[in-house]
Homo-oligomer: A and B are copies of this chain.
């Protein structure tokens, strides 16, 4: 009976493709509707990516459809943060106490292409491109598209992102608690290209003879307080940079001189590595940073049910690198619930939203919190001492003391348990005193070098 329900997935981004693939493998026929044309044909939009940092949760989800190794093969591991001072100095901070753990820089579009391929070749999954959703009618069970076409659906899984079109159909329902909270900061993508070394033997291959302008084993951060820039390495040995700054400030840089002048002053070591800075700054759009919260995630009409998935349910800011990881976890949870409830969609979706809500709220808060940490605190002596103290404790108390960053990035512990774990850990190990001691020792040791 459950198999007879017509299932539609809205949005063929990372979550939509993974979800369709998981459902297809379960023997469920799924129609996926994507507003863009096939991105494997048309290519990505300019300047709207923010590279992904795939970590334990995303990899675990990809493993469910056998894509873990393929994804890692397209990714570059980053074992820590490289902090760039205004004086051009660089300082490396390992993400893990033992230095072995890494998050993985991967191109959003490459990963999306791999997931589109996986969905397309899964029996039962049909991809429909160029179908921009206009409205969902849950009473008749109909999706209406901008091109005038429509499609029937009993179960609508809305994985169409932060600005979800499917969500609009329920936004003004009485009792739908909803918020979209924009940061004053926007972002602008910039680039540090590969540096040409000696020409490669075979000539012409992208990156053949070139090298990375910065250490590719790190996520680079230029913390400047009000503004911040980050850079993630790409396979072609370039870096994608993202400048975060209040939107008013981003718009205020107008002339070539203002743009180059600002970067020479505040990002003196990066500016010379950015030959297309002015062009990138001019042409790339200003992106928004929004946190979306919604409740409930599952909505019923006379003949159809809508469930919000991934960013459509809980868009978060990118400062913990967890947006995609978290969305992929949603898909696995829906699939798991369907398994547990023998394909009963109503029970499965009710359980999905119940299990995921607190976790997604928790990472949303940690992501906002991390913005302050990244743009400001990472560069302070107190923060460095705290980090040193944390790693000291992690090494001395393996398994007992684990930093928040490690729990978020290198485990699949439910996000919601992490804040409580951190508080418990703090009490149990009397972290304040020990951290201060370890930090002081680290500073003294460094000073005596």
Which residues of A are at the interface with B, using a C-beta cutoff of 8 A? 163, 168, 171-172, 174-182, 247, 288, 293
The contact of A178 among B176, B179, B247, by CB within 8 Å, is B179
**Docked pose: A247 CA to B174 CA in angstroms:** 12
Closest chain-B Cβ to A403's Cβ sits at a distance in Å of 32
With A179-B180, A180-B179 already in contact, the answer to whether A171 and B171 are too (CB < 8 A) is yes
Nearest neighbor of A175 in chain B, beta-carbon distance = B182
Nearest neighbor of A287 in chain B, beta-carbon distance = B174
Name the 5 nearest CB pairs between A and B, nearest first. A179-B179, A177-B182, A175-B182, A177-B181, A174-B288
5 contacts between A and B (CB under 8 A): A171-B171, A174-B182, A176-B182, A178-B180, A179-B179
**Which residues of the other chain, B, contact A180 by a CB distance below 8 angstroms?**
176-179
Closest chain-B Cβ to A165's Cβ sits at a distance in Å of 9
**Docked pose: A179 CA to B176 CA in angstroms:** 10
**Which residues of the other chain, B, contact A247 by a CB distance below 8 angstroms?**
175
Closest chain-B Cβ to A425's Cβ sits at a distance in Å of 32
Closest chain-B Cβ to A173's Cβ sits at a distance in Å of 10
**Docked pose: A373 CA to B238 CA in angstroms:** 59
- Highest count of chain B CB atoms <10 Å: which of A163, A178, A247, A293: A178
- Highest count of chain B CB atoms <10 Å: which of A168, A177, A288: A177
**Which residues of the other chain, B, contact A175 by a CB distance below 8 angstroms?**
182, 247, 288
B179 touches A181 (CB 8 A): yes
Closest chain-B Cβ to A254's Cβ sits at a distance in Å of 20
**Docked pose: A179 CA to B177 CA in angstroms:** 8
**Which residues of the other chain, B, contact A181 by a CB distance below 8 angstroms?**
177, 179
**Docked pose: A180 CA to B178 CA in angstroms:** 5
A sample of 9 more A-B contacts (CB under 8 A), given A163-B172, A176-B182, is A174-B182, A174-B288, A175-B182, A175-B247, A176-B180, A177-B180, A177-B182, A178-B178, A179-B181
**Which residues of the other chain, B, contact A288 by a CB distance below 8 angstroms?**
174-175
Closest chain-B Cβ to A317's Cβ sits at a distance in Å of 13
**Which residues of the other chain, B, contact A182 by a CB distance below 8 angstroms?**
174-177
The contact of A168 among B163, B172, B177, B178, by CB within 8 Å, is B172
**Which residues of the other chain, B, contact A172 by a CB distance below 8 angstroms?**
163, 168
**Which residues of the other chain, B, contact A179 by a CB distance below 8 angstroms?**
178-181, 293
**Which residues of the other chain, B, contact A168 by a CB distance below 8 angstroms?**
172
**Docked pose: A313 CA to B253 CA in angstroms:** 32
**Docked pose: A172 CA to B182 CA in angstroms:** 12
**Which residues of the other chain, B, contact A163 by a CB distance below 8 angstroms?**
172, 174
**Which residues of the other chain, B, contact A174 by a CB distance below 8 angstroms?**
163, 182, 288
Nearest neighbor of A186 in chain B, beta-carbon distance = B175
- Highest count of chain B CB atoms <10 Å: which of A180, A247, A288: A180
**Docked pose: A182 CA to B293 CA in angstroms:** 13
Nearest neighbor of A288 in chain B, beta-carbon distance = B174
**Which residues of the other chain, B, contact A177 by a CB distance below 8 angstroms?**
180-182
